[in-house]
Amino acid sequence: DAKTTQPPSMDCAEGRAANLPCNHSTISGNEYVYWYRQIHSQGPQYIIHGLKNNETNEMASLIITEDRKSSTLILPHATLRDTAVYYCIASHGSSNTGKLIFGQGTTLQVKP
Amino acid sequence: AAGVIQSPRHLIKEKRETATLKCYPIPRHDTVYWYQQGPGQDPQFLISFYEKMQSDKGSIPDRFSAQQFSDYHSELNMSSLELGDSALYFCASSPSGYNEQFFGPGTRLTVL
């Protein structure tokens, strides 16, 4: 599984967009980019994933560069409840090889 | 909506004792993953099962064993407990062919 690199911490003002970057320069062609978050000691929560195309759901948007070497998770209107550790993970995603390898993650602090 | 159930939620054991953690996946989910999260650390993949067969193995000590039963619930058995086994243990489940993992609330194991 490809290694990912994220900044250790970021701040965001409440109501503003939070843009969390991730580098995955060694990602293979069949690895997806997943984003999960963990709110203090709770079970990690799935946010979004993508392979090549940009993706959007009710929680966030995922922008993947054309060469797939990096991506950005966008929380369009951050709230205090979005304060969490955000993990960017490259994974094959199938039942046989779908394990998640958690790296350092980015601690996002949303401030009033 | 039904979620992943883990029991017990908290467990206190003495060194060299044994412990059994249980995970009940979301109905119709046939894949189960186990993760360990030590204090101040990121979750680490231990082992996974797909259709009652072990599908992948991570950094799981030889003192630990796990299995998935016919009703798809899974148990993580831990023997000769050490102080370093104190951690949060998360179980996640997913349906086959689906990329998202749903995490349970975790079992907090404290070894004294």
pLDDT in tens, A54-64: 999 999 999 99
Q: Would you say A112 and A14 are in contact if contact means Cβ atoms under 8 Å apart?
A: yes
* pLDDT of B83 higher than 90: yes
Which of A1-10, A44-53, A86-95, B33-42 comes out lowest in average pLDDT? A86-95
Nearest chain B residue to A107, by CA: B42
Are the Cβ atoms of B43 and A34 closer than 8 angstroms? no
pLDDT at A94: 64
Are the Cβ atoms of A99 and B97 closer than 8 angstroms? no
* pLDDT of B82 higher than 70: yes
Are the Cβ atoms of B106 and A43 closer than 8 angstroms? yes
Nearest chain B residue to A51, by CA: B99
Q: Would you say B45 and B13 are in contact if contact means Cβ atoms under 8 Å apart?
A: no
